[in-house]
């Protein structure tokens, strides 16, 4: 069984974070909401406060790390030294890391996209420091998955489901949620 940790910082983008959690949980994937703030409740960029499953210091290993975007959430994720160390560790160990909207710039600033293709929120491509910035809804380059923003959150979540389970499971989920049927 796969396990995913989604990291929340103050100012996260609510739809990007919660869409991933909802779709992965519907598919039976253990998906943890992890606060990097030291508090069990984290407020997003649009004033929605969500109770977390665990704090960063209490979280355990997973098969994939996910960073939602949003401002200042993305900057707060980048400022968390424990999280950035964990992201680099996962990347160097060949584990999945994923980010959406502004959050792929965290990977870029950590030097993880140098020889990769990636996407992010329009206008932030210079902060990816990648080989090729694309405008695709979702870009999968090896074990790094990036996406553009709130409007691509379902595509992003289904892409994560595809790599964690398979294409058939993702297509079935797409049908069940009446997405592009």
Q: Any idea which residues carry the catalytic annotation?
A: 101
* Gap between the Cα atoms of 80 and 66, Å rounded: 14
Contacts of 54 (CB under 8 A, 6+ apart): 32, 33, 34, 35
Task: In whole angstroms, give the CA distance from residue 139 to residue 39.
Answer: 32
By C-alpha distance, which of 64, 59, 32 is closest to 164?
Answer: 64
What's the CA gap between 87 and 103, in Å, rounded?
12
């Amino acid at each position: 069984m796969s396990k995913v940790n989604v990291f929340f910082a103050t100012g996260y983008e609510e739809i990007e974070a919660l869409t991933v959690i909802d779709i992965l949980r519907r598919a039976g994937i253990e998906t943890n909401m992890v606060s990097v703030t030291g508090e069990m409740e984290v407020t997003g960029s649009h004033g929605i406060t969500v109770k977390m499953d665990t704090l960063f210091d209490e979280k355990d290993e997973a098969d994939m790390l996910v960073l939602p975007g949003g401002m200042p959430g993305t900057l707060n994720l980048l400022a968390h030294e424990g999280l950035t160390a964990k992201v680099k560790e996962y990347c160097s160990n060949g584990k999945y890391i994923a980010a959406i909207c502004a959050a792929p710039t965290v990977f870029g600033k950590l030097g993880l996209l140098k020889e990769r293709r990636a996407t992010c929120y329009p206008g932030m491509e210079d902060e990816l420091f990648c080989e090729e910035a694309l405008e695709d809804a979702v870009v999968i380059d090896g074990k790094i998955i990036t996406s553009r923003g709130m409007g691509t959150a379902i595509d992003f979540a289904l892409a994560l489901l595809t790599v964690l389970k398979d294409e058939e499971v993702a297509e079935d989920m797409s049908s069940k949620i009446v997405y592009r049927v």
